[in-house]
Structure formats: C-alpha cells, structure tokens
Amino acid sequence: MANDLQNQIGNLQTTILPNVKHTIAVASGKGGVGKSTVSVNLALALSKLGYKVGLLDADIYGPSIPLMMGITGKPKIYQEQNTNKMLPLENYGLKLMSIGFLIDDDNPVIWRGPMASGAIKQFMSDVNWGELDYLIYDLPPGTGDIQLTLVQTIPLSGAIIVTTPQEVSLIDARKGLKMFEKVNVPVFGIVENMSYFIAPDTGNKYDIFGSGGGEKLSAELNTTFLGGIPIDPRIREGGDNGKPIVHDLPDIAESKSIIKIAKKLSEAVESKSSDNTDKIEIEL
C-alpha cells in the first residue's frame, strides 16, 4: 500500500512538475523555530553546491519569502495552450513564488483550507519552473488540517523537520514527523535551529535553549540528524534586510554549517533516489 502511494506521488510529480527532480518540504510542528529562515538559507546553500533550485512559499497565511529574499513585484503572465502561466521571480540565483507577490503587504489572506491548497496547486501547475534539481517548499507551521491537506496535495520527494533544542519544540517536531509518516512521505532528517550561541567578545558557547535535543530526537525517531544552526544576530538581520546570510556572508561559520546541512540533505536525497531506481530495475 505504501509503495503504491509513493508511486502515485511520483507519477503526480512527473505530471505536474515534469522538469523538477526533487521536491522537499521544510516543516515544523510549531511556529517560531525559524523554519522560513532555514528554508531560504538551505535553498541558497543547495544553489551554492551547484544545483538549480526553486523556492515555493507554501505559507499562504504568513508569506515571508518576499521579505527574506529581498524581492517584490508581480510574476509575469503569459499564455500557453489557452492557459495562463506565470514565470517565477528570481533573486540570488533562486526561482521564487509566493502569495506575497500577488497581494498587498497589508492585506491578510482569509481563506479556508481548500482555497489555500488550491493556490499551492496553481503555484505548481500554472508556474513555469523550468528545469530544477530541487524545489523547496516552505510549509506553514503546525500539523493541523491545512498542513495535512497541503502534504497530501503536494507531490513530495520528502521532507525535513526544523526544531529548536527545548522540549516544547521537540514535542511538536515529533508530531510533524508523524504527520509525514501518515501520508507516506519520507523524512530525510531533522535540522536543529538556534542550537547554541557563541559570545563574540569571549568566544564562550552558551546552550540558551538546551543542548542535544535534535540529535536525541533523530535517534528516537530513527531519522538523520542533518545538523545544527547556531544563534547569530546576523542570521536574523539577513532575513529582515532581504540579504540571507548564506548569500551575504558565505564564508562565516554559521553559513558553512547550513551549507554542510545542504550537502548532507542532497546526499540523503540522492541515496533515496538510487534505492528507488534499484527497486524498479529489480521489479522489471
């Protein structure tokens, strides 16, 4: 049953996103853990590793990608086979789409779940993404009906879970992983954000939110610990100023930690793809 569902998801991805190799959801069980910050910088890190990358802001109610990527404007629309298509906006080498490009900043999106999932479907079927190695989805936080509808709607190669070290975040991260298990979407691993703080004046390390939580959770749930990202004001400032740290300061330790996570993720994705190919060859 699980293999049949995965095959259906793979067929759906081939139909809707024929030129996209891998689709990865970045999710969190709760808000406030820096999921969008991780999504943006992870996408940029994959780009720095030489991949063609797109970033889809699936957080319909709180789109933050336009601000964090330092880009505004409306997507260009053209006709293809009597259907209106959109071209994603581009910045820092990434292709981008967000509901934030289509509405005014001050206008809230007051939609029920089916309308939100319908918008995400359009961002896949009616956007010309071109050829991509990775399309990263920045999902809304939580594990409610909206999130479940989205992960059942989006053709996904897999997901990663973002958490912070403290127990309240880890509890919700467990729920997030279980959500993906219910819809048979593989989880490639856990990223621990705000892992620690290095005081710039002394170099001392402080575990502000605890330590080791992401690693322990990964072991408990039998998934990979992709790595930790330290607290650094420059990460927050980069998001607020539209200059993500991986782009703006690629050589500092914090950026290198994110690039290392991206490399570990890409290795896990390629390994999974290779396993699936081997299985198909055996079945044939």
pLDDT on residue 278? 47
Q: In the prediction, which pLDDT does 280 show?
A: 36
Q: pLDDT tens digits, residue range 90-146?
A: 999 999 999 888 876 665 555 555 676 677 778 888 899 999 999 999 998 887 777
Please report, to the nearest 10 degrees, the dihedral formed by the alpha carbons of residues 128, 134, 140, 141 taken in order: 180
Measured over the CA atoms of residue 17, residue 19, residue 22 and residue 27, the dihedral's sign is: negative
The DSSP letter of residue 100 is: G
Backbone angles phi, psi at 228, to 5 degrees: -115, 150
Helix ranges, 56-112 (H)? 65-68
Separation between Cα atoms, residue 16 and residue 49, nearest integer Å: 26
6 band by pLDDT with thresholds 50, 70 and 90: very low
Query: For residue 202, what pLDDT band results from cuts at 50, 70 and 90?
Result: confident
Q: What is the mean pLDDT of the chain?
A: 84
Of residues 229 and 207, the one with the higher pLDDT is: 229
CA distances from 167 to 171, 212, 237, 249, 274 (A): 6, 11, 26, 31, 35
**pLDDT value for 282:** 34
CA distance 134 to 173: 23
- Give the model's pLDDT for residue 266: 96
Position 76, amino acid: K
Query: Terminal CA-to-CA distance of the chain, rounded, Å?
Result: 19
Residue 20 has pLDDT above 90, yes or no: yes
Segment of 8-17, 221-230, 257-266 carrying the highest mean pLDDT: 257-266
| SS3 at position 255 | helix
Give the pLDDT mean for 18-34.
89
Query: What's the pLDDT score for residue 113?
Result: 56
Report the percent of the chain where pLDDT is more than 70. 86
pLDDT at 112: 56
Pairing of strands 76-80, 187-198: unpaired
Q: What is the amino acid identity at position 111?
A: W
Confidence of residue 147 (pLDDT cuts 50, 70, 90): confident
Cα 224 to the center of its chain, rounded Å: 16
Contact predicate 139/111, CB 8 Å: no
Reported as a single tens digit per residue, the pLDDT across 220-245 is 888 999 999 999 999 999 999 999 99
Q: What is the pLDDT of residues 150-200, one digit of tens each?
A: 788 788 999 999 988 887 778 888 888 888 988 899 999 999 999 888 888
pTM of the model as a whole: 0.87
Residue pair 100/60 in contact by the 8 Å Cβ criterion = no
φ/ψ (deg, to 5) at 227: 140, 170
Give Cα 42 to chain centroid, integer Å. Answer: 8
Domains in the chain (CATH in brackets) are 2-283 (3.40.50.300)
